[in-house]
Amino acid sequence: MSAARPGPAASAALRRLRSAAGNGGSQIQGTAGIPRRSRRRKSVAIAYEPGQGDRAEPQRPRWEPRDWREQLERIREMRRSRDAPVDEMGVQKCYDSGAPPQVMRYQVLLALMLSSQTKDQVTSAAMLRLRQHGLTVDTVLQMDDETLGQIIYPVGFWRNKVKYIKQTTAILKQKYGGDIPSTVEELVQLPGVGPKMAHLAMHIAWDSVAGIAVDTHVHRISNRLKWVKKETKHPEETRVALEDWLPRDLWKEINWLLVGFGQQTCLPVNPRCSQCLNQDICPAAKRH
């Protein structure tokens, strides 16, 4: 009865042993080539962190708020009618959509500057009056401060805004050829333009999402829903906290959703919790 042939792995091992014996151990000691065993060792080392004998620890799951997807869907449902002030008179409704793109972008920026600390209804009315005078970089530069103030009154801090609008418009003319900057970093360098305005300008004027636009409504509601890992004191803190976990494809929508929700239901004082679909899963809800 003939002996069984060794398998491929055993045959390879036998050949290595015979080669080592025939060469006086040169397979192990020789300098002609890199030993097979050493080559195997180096290929295995690639699976580890450089210089480490242990495997790298797996990344921990990213933090995200409890129930946030359900809360978001319910807010979408509450906002389905699109009848909040921001929907009817927000910045996206204030510019002349038929104007040349450069003029349209300038009007968006001015509407944002006027909207700070001002109700949408007041901003919308002021923008309408400005547009009746021909709202372009050149017309604003030619307008004296008193006239500009009379047109935009009674927006909040209108005297300061007259100054900022004239300064910013001059910069746009001199530095950007009458257009507005196309980055958040450049936009926030303009007098009277903050981070929220810059991100909204990117959204509306440039159709680009560079970050989340966080105003007082988004800031308040994010803290009430515990959408921030720890309480935040300022809108810019809230923006950073939200961007850390909220999927990027929601960054543009979240401002519109929460602003209208904050205007109609989740009010700053005496929120209408009894009318809110999130009452049973909102950490801040009044359930009595």
Q: Give the catalytic positions in this structure.
A: 196
Task: Look at residues 257, 225, 228, 258 and name the one whose alpha carbon lies nearest to residue 240.
Answer: 228
Contact 113, 192 (CB under 8 A): yes
Contact 140, 165 (CB under 8 A): yes
**Cβ neighbours, 10 Å, residue 286:** 12
User: How does 210-249 read in b/e, with b if 16+ C-beta sit within 10 Å?
Assistant: bbbbbbebbbbbbbbbbbbeeebeebebbbebbeeebeee
Structure tokens, 139: 């017309």
Task: Look at residues 267, 264, 210, 263 and name the one whose alpha carbon lies nearest to residue 239.
Answer: 210
Task: Look at residues 282, 285, 284 and name the one whose alpha carbon lies nearest to residue 67.
Answer: 282
Long-range contacts from 228-236, C-beta under 8 angstroms, 24+ separation: 229/63, 235/195, 235/196, 236/195
Torsion angles phi and psi, residue 210, rounded to 5: -105, -10
Q: How many CA atoms lie within 13 A of 184 on its CB side?
A: 16
